[in-house]
Structure 1
Amino acid sequence: MHTMWKGTISFGLVNIPVKMHAATENKDIKLRQLHKECQSPIKYERTCPNCDREVKNDEIVKAYEYAKDKFVVLDDEDLEALKKEQADKAVEIVDFVKLEEIDPIYFEKSYYLSPNEGGSKAYGLLHSALKDTGKIGIAKMMIRSKEQLAIIRIYENALIVETIHFPDEVRQVKDVPNIPEEFDTLQKELETAKMLIEQLTTKFDPEKYNDDYRTALLELIEAKKNNEEVVIGETKPKPDNVTNLMDALQASLEKTKKNKPKPKAAKPKAATTKKKVAK
């Protein structure tokens, strides 16, 4: 499993060298966009609307837009120094709370933690302590140039990091339109709904749930492939340097011919008549 981050988790005077690994993966089926006419993949280019040309990576800088069309440019050196300053800090668990005190709206992404060299004993100590107390740890850490609020909890025989949103990243319920302040529910309807919930109540088993749309889409793709309903995108032939050179020379020659001034036409000579000499 790929290591995304290496660092130290600490609580009190205990330091645990750990490695972090993604606990989940995106199984979405990525569909490409093709040009309907020739079936070639669509290419997106970064262009500058002012210079009206494509921009290369080394021409791009990062900036913060603090007002309309007004920017503060941030140098890569400044950002790297700031990121390193935060990344070098140990991830310190500052509080311990109960998991049920955190609403799931705060949860973002999960990562496995594994002990790094020399960290197995301290890793096991934290795992056992969290298990016996039923608590989770609250910490802050740097992941991919962003400071994250996170919880550290146990998952089976492993420690797991769950990144959670900061409070100002969660929108207020009062800003959601059309939510009634009070609910006018008839008692009979409520009792019927509770009976239905009771009948459908079961023990959670994640294995019984499947992504039906993804399965159907894969079956459709496979069926089209087996029936040879496939297309091959046309590729633009790479220009030959010699051909380019000859084309450029020919075009230059034609242009020169067009721009060359036409020779002036010779003026017609005046007609001369000889006088007859009388004999």
Structure 2
Amino acid sequence: MAPRASWKGYIKLSLVSCPVKMFPATTASERITFNQLHKDTHNRINMKPVDPELGLVERSDLVKGYEYEDKQYVIIDESDLEAVRIESSHTMNIEAFVDEDEVDVIYQDAPYYLAPDGAMAEETFVVLREAMRRSGKLAIARLVMSSRERVITIGARETGMFVTTLRNPNEVRGTAEYFGNIPVGKPDEEMLQLAEKLIEQKVKQFDPRDYEDRYEAALMEMIREKLKGHKPIIAQAPERGNVVNLMDALKASLSQSKPAAPSKAKAEPAKPAAKKPTLKEAVEASKAVAAKSGTARKKA
């Protein structure tokens, strides 16, 4: 099934415009989630709104409120929201270009892929993409999504473009509260050199497939075992060692570490990882095994 675009419109630079479509670059559909069930009936529980004074209430009686002081609210209705709603022009109007390394990662929020919308748009799209790639720049633009305006960056990625929505500056906390008491003093030079050598030994080419979510994998294995009627396998985290002396620990780590494979000058394109069966597929497979087992017992 072809992916569905979450936004369609135009990317515009001065007098040049190009129809584009945008797709979410990530998905949480394969992440394991749980539903709340009653312990006896195993029926899924419905969450219903409750007022502390009135008890169960209808959703049609609910209104939006902004808490401006502790337990003090100003009521906001739909007409209020309509008054401040920003008109969507369905256009990513590029306002400026910045160096790629100027956008602090802490401001980067949700990632999207951007592709040309139709064959007629491809030539313009490719010209804009390659111009950004050669210049090493990211475009800064604004985009209206779900009636809210978002500032975004746009950059070249493979044969397409990559869009990242940016967090509002007031959403990012300052560091003083967290880093203010950390000493600035220069560390011991010998220990610093040992730490640098330890880093050098562990340098490698980054591949996200090397860093599987072990908790998610253990959850899936436990679920498969329970579907088979087996007791769940207990996955234990490695024990932590007691580090007494930093210098001794650095030297010991350096002697035990094996040099990592030399990093390649250019990363090879990652091969698609073998897709693991989803939970639904695991359930179907379990039912098939159970049915086959029952047939075998009848024949016996």
Structure 2 length normalisation: TM-score?
0.69
- Residues paired across the two proteins, number: 228
Corresponding residue for residue 64 of structure 1 = 66
Query: Do the aligned partners of 1:48 and 1:55 also contact (CA within 8 Å) in 2?
Result: no
Corresponding residue for residue 77 of structure 2 = 75
Corresponding residue for residue 214 of structure 1 = 216
Corresponding residue for residue 153 of structure 1 = 155
* Matching of residue 110 in structure 1 with residue 78 in structure 2: no
How big is the shift at 1:86? 3.2
Corresponding residue for residue 88 of structure 2 = 87
How big is the shift at 1:55? 2.1
Corresponding residue for residue 16 of structure 1 = 18
How big is the shift at 1:96? 0.5
DSSP 3-state at the match of 1:6: strand
Q: Residue 89 and residue 18 in structure 1: after superposition, are their counterparts in 2 closer, same or farther (change >3 A)? A: closer
How big is the shift at 1:179? 4.0
Query: Do the aligned partners of 1:62 and 1:74 also contact (CA within 8 Å) in 2?
Result: yes
DSSP 3-state at the match of 1:122: helix
Q: Higher relative contact order at CA 8 Å, sep ≥6: structure 1 or structure 2?
A: 1
1:38-94 Cα offsets, whole Å, 9 max, x none, are 4443332112223222222x32222322233443333324434643x4322522111
How big is the shift at 1:156? 0.8
The residue correspondences of 1:85-234 to structure 2 (distance < 5 A) are 85-88=86-89, 90-117=91-118, 118-176=120-178, 179-227=181-229
Q: Residue 36 and residue 119 in structure 1: after superposition, are their counterparts in 2 closer, same or farther (change >3 A)? A: same
DSSP 3-state at the match of 2:87: helix
Instruction: Give the distance between the partners of 1:147 and 1:181, measured in 2 at CA.
Output: 41
1:174-203 Cα offsets, whole Å, 9 max, x none, are 021664141452111111110010000112
Q: Residue 47 and residue 177 in structure 1: after superposition, are their counterparts in 2 closer, same or farther (change >3 A)? A: farther
Instruction: Give the distance between the partners of 2:146 and 2:160, measured in 1 at CA.
Output: 23
Instruction: Give the distance between the partners of 2:55 and 2:19, measured in 1 at CA.
Output: 51
Query: Do the aligned partners of 1:140 and 1:149 also contact (CA within 8 Å) in 2?
Result: yes
How big is the shift at 1:33? 2.5
Query: Do the aligned partners of 1:107 and 1:162 also contact (CA within 8 Å) in 2?
Result: yes
Instruction: Give the distance between the partners of 2:149 and 2:183, measured in 1 at CA.
Output: 36
Instruction: Give the distance between the partners of 2:133 and 2:173, measured in 1 at CA.
Output: 32
- What percent of counterpart residues are identical? 33
How big is the shift at 1:225? 0.2
Instruction: Give the distance between the partners of 2:87 and 2:169, measured in 1 at CA.
Output: 21
CA RMSD of aligned residues (A): 2.3
Corresponding residue for residue 42 of structure 1 = 45
Moved more, 216-225 or 38-47: 38-47
- Segments of structure 1 that go 5 or more residues without pairing to the other structure are 230-279
What amino acid maps onto 2:39 in structure 1? K
Instruction: Give the distance between the partners of 1:170 and 1:78, measured in 2 at CA.
Output: 27
DSSP 3-state at the match of 1:113: strand
